[in-house]
């Protein structure tokens, strides 16, 4: 079967953790030949050697890939770079044609150590927001138009164990909640948080402080992931006919223990779109 005739799935962050788990799941569950693009940041791929196919991680899936006529393409993709996203989306069209993507899973992570402000004056905490939130938005806007609006295509945004408004102060949580949140409101919240990081003035705001400069600070990542999860509300209104949902993982470390993620990617969800899921069912956002 030619590449253009095969279904296509894109798993952002698909080289490790929950992303690798859902990459395996998609291949194991498919009943037709599938091409899976499992992406990772160039630094992560270089550190982990995934472009060379880690034999310990892939050996048990290789026979399934061959048996089902699937392809696993470990792909270097810096989602914080709009040009890289444009190049990747054009590659999909050139290789597989328009409306080629059946599944898009955003399981992006930020595994690089956050250090001090660099020689260019770039705040590393700002870099997390740029890649995780703004990169995820740019990616969704580039890839979702390549999906059929037939009620079968799936988009899943994976949050973190603390990636929901319930972990924020109530006044701030209220601003994230609501299925009618707009891009203007959501982008405004993330810009507001970026300003709080830039000035380090948290006392007069509801934002949790993010002061770490030498150790990994998870606050920007968690808050970026809240924004990524909230994207499904405007996206589901913008792209009817595609099932677009978000979820919190049951486990952040065990790549084989994400049943909610797997359900949203391939299972029966009764046509639900624009929902937030936990423990296998719709939950209050």
Give the model confidence (pLDDT) of 170-220 as tens digits: 999 999 997 799 999 999 999 999 888 887 777 778 888 765 443 345 788
For residue 51, what pLDDT is reported? Answer: 44
Q: Which residue has the higher pLDDT, 98 or 201?
A: 98
Domain span at 44: 3-282
Residue 140 clears pLDDT 50, i.e. is over it: yes
- pLDDT score recorded for residue 122: 54
* pLDDT per position as a tens digit, 29-62: 999 999 999 998 887 766 665 544 555 555 578 8
- Predicted local distance difference test score (pLDDT) of residue 250: 84
Number of domains composing the chain? 1
Q: For the ranges 37-46, 114-123, 158-167, which has the lowest average pLDDT? A: 114-123
Question: Is beta strand 7-12 parallel, antiparallel or unpaired with respect to 34-40?
Answer: parallel
Work out the pLDDT band at 109, boundaries 50, 70, 90.
confident
With a CB cutoff of 8 Å and minimum separation 6, the contacts of 66 are none
Give the pTM: 0.89
234 pLDDT higher than 90: yes
Going by their DSSP bridges, the two strands 243-247 and 154-158 should be labelled as: parallel
Does 257 have pLDDT greater than 90?
no
| CATH number where 127 lies | 3.40.50.720
CA 92 to chain centroid: 18
Report in angstroms the alpha-carbon separations of 212 from 97, 126, 138, 226, 250: 45, 12, 27, 20, 27
CA proximity to 240, closest of 271, 198, 208, 206: 271
């Amino acid at each position: 079967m030619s590449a253009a005739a095969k279904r296509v799935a894109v798993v952002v962050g698909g080289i490790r953790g929950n992303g690798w788990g859902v990459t395996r799941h998609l291949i194991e569950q498919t009943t037709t030949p599938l091409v899976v693009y499992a992406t990772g940041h160039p630094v992560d791929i270089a550190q982990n050697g995934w472009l060379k196919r880690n034999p310990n991680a892939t050996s048990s899936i290789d026979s399934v890939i061959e048996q089902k006529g699937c392809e696993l393409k470990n792909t270097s993709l810096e989602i914080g770079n709009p040009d890289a996203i444009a190049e990747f989306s054009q590659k999909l069209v050139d290789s597989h044609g328009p409306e080629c993507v059946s599944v898009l899973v955003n399981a992006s992570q930020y595994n690089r150590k956050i250090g001090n402000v660099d020689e260019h004056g770039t705040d590393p905490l700002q870099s997390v927001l740029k890649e995780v939130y703004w990169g995820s938005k740019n990616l969704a806007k580039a890839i979702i138009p390549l999906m059929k609006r037939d009620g079968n295509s799936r988009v899943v945004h994976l949050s973190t164990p603390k990636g929901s408004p319930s972990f924020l102060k109530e006044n701030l949580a209220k601003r994230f909640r609501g299925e009618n949140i707009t891009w203007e409101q959501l982008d405004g919240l993330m810009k507001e948080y970026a300003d709080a990081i830039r000035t380090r003035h948290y006392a007069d705001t509801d934002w949790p402080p993010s002061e770490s400069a030498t150790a990994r600070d998870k606050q920007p990542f968690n808050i970026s992931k809240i924004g990524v999860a909230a994207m499904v509300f405007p996206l589901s209104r913008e792209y009817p006919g595609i099932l677009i949902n978000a979820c919190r993982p049951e486990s952040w470390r065990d790549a084989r223990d994400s049943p909610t993620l797997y359900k949203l990617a391939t299972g029966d969800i009764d046509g639900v779109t624009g929902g937030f899921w936990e423990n296998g069912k719709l939950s209050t956002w």
